Amino acid sequence: MAQAQSSRLKWIGVAIAIIVIAAFAWSFLKKNDQQEIVIGISPPFAKPLQAAIEEAKAQGIHVRLVEFSDWNTPNITLNHGDIDANYFQHQPFLNNALKETNFKLKPLGIGSGTHVGLYSKKYKAISEVKNGARVVLPNDPVNQGRALLLLQHAGLIQLKDSNNHLSNLKDIKSNPKKLNFIEVEGPQTARAVDDADLVFSYPMYLRLAQTIDPNDALILDEINNTLYAILFVVRDDFEQTQPEKAAQLKKFIQIYQSSDKVKQALNEDIGEKLWFKGWK
């Protein structure tokens, strides 16, 4: 009887130990998961960020990337709290997104920017562009404005306000070649090179789509305008509600800005002369 009771107590003790160990393991995993920083990105930004992720691991900073194929979902997902940050937009794009929504988002740091260009498989120079040429532009207000400024710089159109970076098709004052404009989602401009006569696009998307060499632009916006550098964006309350993660993300941003491996990845993935630093 005593032996049976002793055996029963032994198994109860084992069960309690298992429960305690399981609870500890669950608590540890939960804590560890909470410290993982999840960043939503556009696919072309993955490789340079991955280089920073590998270096951050050595400092105990764990970052996971989630890719989005469009330019709307990353802000929606961030605002809902499903990710910790996103990295796909510059300040003018963020300003416009905040204007059109009630999202509470802000930049926590800045990354690299890329030049943009006009590309064609039909023409070898801007001077060859024919009357009625089909020209592909992004359909979002900010990047369309950037495209129109570049078309103006190329001498193909004239805008009502030559300095307005938010110009749209209605703001074209003069279109002497009667260009036909086709609006598409920004990421899709890279795939339009095969069909349209002239395309405004971004080196990193062109390299990802493999439609044309990003270095073969007929014209580039060669100014290193940090206004168009890509931002690490978080929710307004991120630093207050998750101070430890915020501190780690700031360290990760510093790694991105200072890492030679990140610079090498940017050179290889975008092109040495096609990207610029957004930080000082």
- For position 224, what pLDDT does the model report? 74
Of the listed ranges 21-30, 116-125, 205-214, the least confidently predicted one is 21-30
In the predicted structure, residue 164 carries a pLDDT above the cut 60: yes
Distance CA 260, CA 274 (A): 17
Query: Quick one: CA dihedral 207, 212, 213, 217, positive or negative?
Result: negative
**Of 16 and 146, more confident:** 146
| Residue 159 contacts residue 128 (beta carbons within 8 Å) | no
Mean pLDDT of 15-41: 55
Where do the structural domains in the chain lie, given as residue ranges?
Answer: 38-115+226-277, 117-220
In the predicted structure, residue 31 carries a pLDDT above the cut 60: no
- For position 243, what pLDDT does the model report? 97
Share of the chain above pLDDT 70, in %: 88
Give the CATH number of domain 117-220; options: 3.40.190.10, 3.40.50.300, 3.40.50.1820, 3.10.290.20.
3.40.190.10
Residue 245 neighbours by CB under 8 Å, 6+ apart: 34, 35, 37, 84, 238
- For position 101, what pLDDT does the model report? 96
Cα radius of gyration (the chain): 25
In the predicted structure, residue 1 carries a pLDDT above the cut 80: no
pTM value surpassing 0.95: no
Q: List Cβ<8 Å contacts ≥24 apart for 68-76.
A: 68/40, 68/41, 68/42, 69/42, 69/43, 69/187, 70/185, 70/187, 71/42, 71/140, 71/185, 71/186, 71/187, 73/40, 74/40, 74/41, 74/42, 75/101, 75/103, 75/105, 75/233
Q: Which CATH superfamily is 38-115+226-277 part of?
A: Periplasmic binding protein-like II (3.40.190.10)
Distance CA 159, CA 150 (A): 11
The closest of 57, 84, 130 to 233, measured between CA atoms, is 84
| pLDDT bracket for residue 14 (50, 70, 90) | very low
In the predicted structure, residue 276 carries a pLDDT above the cut 50: yes
The phi, psi pair for 215, rounded to 5°, reads -80, -10
In the predicted structure, residue 32 carries a pLDDT above the cut 80: no
In the predicted structure, residue 63 carries a pLDDT above the cut 80: yes
Other CB atoms within 10 Å distance of the CB of residue 185: 14
- For position 35, what pLDDT does the model report? 85
Whether 38-115+226-277 and 117-220 share one fold: the answer is: yes
Mean pLDDT of 110-128: 97
- For position 15, what pLDDT does the model report? 42
Mean pLDDT of 65-80: 97
Q: What is the mean pLDDT of the chain?
A: 90
- For position 45, what pLDDT does the model report? 96
Q: How many residues does the structure list for the chain?
A: 280
- For position 23, what pLDDT does the model report? 39
Distance CA 129, CA 122 (A): 9
| Residue 234 contacts residue 105 (beta carbons within 8 Å) | yes
- Residue 94 one-letter amino acid: L
In the predicted structure, residue 11 carries a pLDDT above the cut 60: no
For residue 118, the number of C-alpha atoms closer than 13 Å in the C-beta half-sphere is 29
Distance CA 16, CA 42 (A): 47
Distance CA 270, CA 217 (A): 13
Mean pLDDT of 153-178: 96
| pLDDT bracket for residue 8 (50, 70, 90) | low
- For position 222, what pLDDT does the model report? 79
| pLDDT bracket for residue 267 (50, 70, 90) | very high
